[in-house]
Amino acid sequence: MPHATAVTIAEKLRLPAARPLPSAAALLRRAQRLVRTHAFRLAGLYFAVFVLSVLGVLFFVYWTSADFVERQTETTLDAEISGLAEQYAQRGLSGLVQIVAARSAGDRGDGMLYLVATAEGRPLAGNITGWPVGASASAGSLSFQIEVPGKRGEESHPARAKLFVIPDGYRLLVGRDIVEEVNRTAERVIAGNLSDRVPRLGTADEFDQLAANLNSMLDQIERLMAGMREVTDNVAHDLKTPLARLRARLELALLAPGNTAAQIEAIRAAIGEADRMLATFNALLSIAEAEAGAGSEAAERLDLGELAAAVAELYEPVAEEKGFAMRLNCAPGVLIRGDRHLLPQALANLLDNALKYGASPAGGSEITVAVLREGGRAVLEVGDRGPGIPERDREAVFDRFVRLEPSRSTPGNGLGLSLVRAVAHRHHATVALADNRPGLRVRLEFPEWTAAAE
Amino acid sequence: MKLLVIEDDRETAAYLVKGLSESGYTVDHSGDGREGLFLATSGSYDAIVLDRMLPGMDGLAILGALRAAQIRTPALILSALGSVDDRVKGLRSGGDDYLVKPFAFSELLARIEALLRRGTQAPAETRLRVADLELDLLTRTVKRGDKIIELLPREFQLLEYLMRNAGHVVTRTMLLENVWDYHFDPQTNVIDVHVSRLRQKIDKQFEHPLLHTVRGAGYCLRAGA
Ligand SMILES: Nc1ncnc2c1ncn2[C@@H]1O[C@H](COP(=O)(O)OP(=O)(O)OP(=O)(O)O)[C@@H](O)[C@H]1O
Ligand SMILES: [Mg+2]
């Protein structure tokens, strides 16, 4: 293993070597001169050597990594290198320097590291300020430390990279910031992509070990989730089949000739009871599923305002009939990533609550539905003018089967808000209850959809 | 009309066969996935009702196999699984409709009838007509007799669906799924209020009502009582 030493990021410009970085224009001129004098003649041969070494590594990687996931991420690094090799073949060293400079220009959010250096290790372009000290000068994989600006000043992050020797001794390094990589994997897993894994380089050092442990933990979580889903499905099937039989028998009994009016009434009541039981059961299953995050692949880009307006439209006639004014205030173009079927269900639960509990004792009942953008968040609010929920109960009402004292006389199971919370979590949204002065205001805050996040 | 029922639970199957036969259908039954698939490919059925979880072969797999073999017989999936994801999966894998167990028999009947009608409808129709009520899909106007009736966009869609299924019962869930594209139980009687608003507009000032409530089942748009 090459010895690991600290080097800094280009933006920070703390050079390990004494010489300052030459200006981009000077670099380019020098590179162009180089291209004219040497590269043109031998470009074809150089390219062949470069591509062969890339192919060789690809082949090696393919055979040595047992795990498919590893293979895939390896391929990302290698694909990056192949892409750069192609640039080199077409546009020579200046082309390579240009493209590496361009890729290093943006913020390092993706954790990719680049460096093109001379044979002596002097950087020509890249987002690492200098050649990692102690790194071997020959092709292969290496691990080292880099310094990056973090929350508390400079942080030292482990990094690893692949190194290629370009003809004439120029060296290309393409690598990754491991911490950044782990963070990004974690983000993707949290976002519902349970099968994502931390890429491994097969270097068998402590970081690779850490990645391996993280990955087996994720494997375990994924298995548990799959198991949970299966249990839910089986419970649904096994409990619903007898209920289905019961309901079917009641319906057949209803059709039998010679029933008295009283019998018909009793059977109807029993069917109603079975249906209520079933509704509760279905609500519990929906909550469990939303919590398990199953089916998050159903997420798509949605216009939150349009979605809210459509659900409000469904409830508007009922609201009017019950003496509520429905006010809609939806900003256009507020986009989120979400489930087109689950979100309306959550909003419907909130409107249902507003209709059940939100009548104003003073008259002038109204329900407001608002969608707005605030500080990079997409906000959905539902407000009413009823008695509201006292602060001490605002946590508890989200739990299953919790109903507050004054509501006991209205029908319900205490499951509506539980589903709202489960759906919110599934969308990485927060739910909060607030005083609407007077009334209740429920506020959901989603991460706003951005093109960059796709 | 000939129906195939693929359902492994003996009691549910007996109930289905009995109910459907009494409603005038010829019914074949299979309690096993593989046999069901065999029957579905060989017999000529007008519609198939199949359970999602079956021994031998999963209901969705049967549908996949049928559709792959270019057999387009309309199919209704019955399932104990009721989540939105499950429905979407069921409909994507070739099902034409999805009904969660347990269900009211009237709901099943209404849906089977709608499935059977779907195949026979002339798709190019631009004007729907029930008695003196006329809906023009191109100009998006509605007239009863010579009186123009103003409808909101959603009311127009609602009326269109009712007119396409004129003479047959449509349930509240069918309306919610087909007119609003929502697949959850809204608890409150939201649909009823929409229907009664529509009724105000199309029936109120006319002698013969067209939009009828069918007790315990849903609604039916038809001429005459
Ligand atoms: N808008 C509101 N104003 C006042 N209290 C409310 C409001 N919304 C909910 N609550 C209180 O929170 C409790 C829990 O609400 P939740 O929606 O979870 O269940 P529910 O409405 O009682 O039953 P379900 O939604 O299952 O039919 C309610 O019983 C009620 O006491
Ligand atoms: Mg509720």
pLDDT digits (tens, 9 = 90+) for A169-211: 788 888 877 777 777 777 777 666 677 787 776 666 677 777 7
**pLDDT at residue A379 is higher than 90:** yes
Give the one of A240, A278, A289 whose C-beta lies nearest to B83's C-beta.
A289
pLDDT for the residue A8: 32
pLDDT for the residue B27: 94
| Higher local confidence (pLDDT), B125 or A356 | A356
Average pLDDT, chain B: 89
pLDDT for the residue A22: 47
Strand ranges in A23-122 using DSSP code E only, listed in sequence order? 112-117
Average pLDDT over residues A323-338: 95
Q: Is CATH 3.40.225.10 the right assignment for the domain spanning B127-221?
A: no
Nearest ligand for residue A398 CA? 1
Judged on CB neighbours under 10 Å (0-12, 13-18, 19+), A85 is buried
Average pLDDT over residues A391-405: 92
Strand ranges in A231-319 using DSSP code E only, listed in sequence order? 300-303
Whether the full predicted model's pTM is greater than 0.80, yes or no, is: no
> What are the sequence ranges of the domains in chain A?
49-221, 293-404+412-453
Closest alpha carbon within chain A to B83: A286
pLDDT for the residue A289: 77
Mutate to test the pocket of ligand 1, among A275, A350, A353, A402 (most ligand atoms within 8 A of CB): A353
| Higher local confidence (pLDDT), A29 or A411 | A411
Q: Are B46 and B56 in contact (CB under 8 A)?
A: no
Position A88: which residue type? Y
What are the residues facing B80 on neighbouring strands? none
What ranges in B70-221 are assigned the alpha helix state H?
A: 84-92, 105-120, 153-164, 172-175, 190-203
Dihedral of the alpha carbons of A387, A390, A393, A399, in degrees to the nearest 10 = 30
pLDDT for the residue A418: 93
Average pLDDT over residues A322-328: 96
Tokens of B71: 């057999």
Tokens of A374: 């605030």
pLDDT for the residue A13: 32
Residues of chain B with CATH 1.10.10.10: 127-221
Q: Quickly list DSSP for A415-453.
A: -HHHHHHHHHHHTT-EEEEEE-SSSEEEEEEEEPP-GGG
For chain B, the straight-line distance linking the first and the last C-alpha, in angstroms and rounded, comes to 26
pLDDT for the residue A153: 72
Judged on CB neighbours under 10 Å (0-12, 13-18, 19+), A115 is buried
Residues of chain A contacting B102 with CB distance shorter than 8 Å: 240, 243-248, 274, 278
d(CA A310, CA A344): 9
Give the one of A236, A252, A318 whose C-beta lies nearest to B193's C-beta.
A318
Second-level CATH architecture of A49-221: 2-Layer Sandwich (3.30)
**pLDDT at residue B206 is higher than 80:** yes
Dihedral of the alpha carbons of A77, A83, A85, A90, in degrees to the nearest 10 = -170
**pLDDT at residue B7 is higher than 70:** yes
d(CA B82, CA A233): 10
pLDDT for the residue A66: 34
pLDDT for the residue A26: 55
SS3 A329: strand
Average pLDDT over residues B66-82: 88
Tokens 């959809």 found at:
A449
Position A158: which residue type? P
pLDDT for the residue A60: 43
Report the CATH number of the B2-120 domain.
Answer: 3.40.50.2300
Which span out of A5-9, A102-106, B70-74, B118-122 was modeled with the highest average pLDDT?
A: B70-74
d(CA B149, CA B202): 7
What ranges in A331-412 are assigned the alpha helix state H?
A: 342-357
Provide the shortest C-alpha distance from residue B154 to chain A (in Å).
9
| Higher local confidence (pLDDT), B213 or B84 | B213
pLDDT for the residue A52: 52
Lining residues, ligand 1, CB within 6 Å: A 349, 353-354, 356-358, 384, 386-389, 397, 402-404, 407, 412-418, 440
A439 CA to middle of ligand 1, Å? 13
SS3 A114: strand
Q: Are A76 and A162 in contact (CB under 8 A)?
A: no
Average pLDDT over residues A331-344: 92
Average pLDDT over residues B59-80: 90
Tokens of A278: 């079933």
Assign B120 a pLDDT band (cuts: 50, 70, 90): low
Residues A94-137: pLDDT tens digits? 888 888 888 887 665 567 888 888 888 788 888 887 777 666 65
Query: CB distance B9–A236 less than 8 Å?
Result: no
**pLDDT at residue A41 is higher than 50:** no
Residues A58-71: pLDDT tens digits? 444 444 433 443 44
Q: Are B142 and B129 in contact (CB under 8 A)?
A: no
Second-level CATH architecture of A293-404+412-453: 2-Layer Sandwich (3.30)
Does A245 contact B at CB distance below 8 Å?
yes
Give the one of B12, B83, B88 whose C-beta lies nearest to A244's C-beta.
B12
pLDDT for the residue B160: 95
Please count the other Cβ atoms lying within 10 Å of the Cβ belonging to residue A144. Answer: 25
Residues B8-28: pLDDT tens digits? 988 889 889 988 998 899 999
- Using DSSP bridges, classify how beta strands B141-144 and B2-6 pair: parallel, antiparallel or unpaired: unpaired
d(CA B154, CA A303): 19
pLDDT for the residue A269: 86
pLDDT for the residue A433: 97
Ranking A157-171, A282-296, B210-224 by mean pLDDT, the lowest is A282-296
pLDDT for the residue A191: 64
Q: What is the ipTM of this complex?
A: 0.82
